[in-house]
Amino acid sequence: MLIANHTAYGFNYFYPSIVKGLHLGGTTITLLLTAPPYLLATCSAFAFAYNSDRVGERGWHISIPMFIAVIGFIISAASLNNAVRYFASFLFIVGCFSANAGVFSWASSTLNQTPEKRAAAVALINLLSQLGNIWSPYFFRPQDASRYLLAMLLMMAFALLSFATCMIMKWSLRRENAKILAEYEGREERPTLYTL
């Protein structure tokens, strides 16, 4: 899930080039226009993380932002209108960044092992997730500038993959919780369940 998420935000390295290709102004204006989507994404990421902790739920707080990112990638790939593509970039940036922290916290909370095993597993998850940051820059071929249609389609596909793996994990943890509850049925002690 996290590899797909990191691959979906491969635009991060090329966002100034994407905005420059929208021809909304010179270099200074281009660089100024790269900031607002990230500022909104920061606020959104905090809001999603806070609400996720408040309600004790991770799956929807990851999948909904990733679906928003998918919509942004679709709009960006489908439209030739520069203002519409700039708006779409708000969607895919907000979506990808809002889901990221939830994936890390969900992964660590589902590992019911010793602290040492959990630390090693989280480190391994983080290491493997960086594969997305390694291969996603290759989506942005020079001949595709400034629209980067292939990159938008691939990042959309990886955002969908992140969405799908999130739903599969939520379903599988729900099944595990049902097994745990059945095992503890009739006892007074309350089991520790997986966060969904």
Reported as a single tens digit per residue, the pLDDT across 87-118 is 999 999 999 999 988 888 888 888 877 888 88
pLDDT at 90: 98
> For the residues 163-180, what does the mean pLDDT come to?
94
Q: Residue 43 corresponds to which amino acid?
A: C
- pLDDT exceeds cutoff 80 at 176: yes
- pLDDT exceeds cutoff 90 at 187: no
Q: How many helices (H) and strands (E) does the chain have?
A: 8, 0
Measure CA 55 to chain center: 20
Query: Whole-angstrom Cα distance, residue 147 to residue 75?
Result: 12
Cβ atoms of residues 10 and 151 within 8 Å:
yes
pTM for this model (two decimals): 0.92
pLDDT at 150: 96
- pLDDT exceeds cutoff 80 at 46: yes
Give tens-digit pLDDT for 58-87: 999 999 999 999 999 999 999 999 999 999
Between 82-91, 165-174, 181-190, the lowest mean confidence (pLDDT) is in 181-190
Q: Among 139, 170, 141, which Cα is nearest to 73's?
A: 139
Query: Whole-angstrom Cα distance, residue 19 to residue 22?
Result: 5
Cβ atoms of residues 76 and 85 within 8 Å:
yes
> For the residues 39-62, what does the mean pLDDT come to?
95
Query: Whole-angstrom Cα distance, residue 145 to residue 21?
Result: 7
Q: What is the rounded (10 degree) CA torsion for 49, 172, 72, 18?
A: 80
pLDDT at 45: 96
The H-or-E segment that residue 93 falls in is helix 82-109
pLDDT-derived band at 192, boundaries 50, 70, 90: confident
pLDDT at 186: 83
Q: What percent of the chain has pLDDT over 90?
A: 73
Q: Among 155, 163, 146, which Cα is nearest to 85's?
A: 146
pLDDT at 188: 84
pLDDT at 119: 86
CATH, domain range 2-181? 1.20.1250.20
CA 195 → CA 61, 105, 121, 171, distances in Å? 12, 10, 17, 11
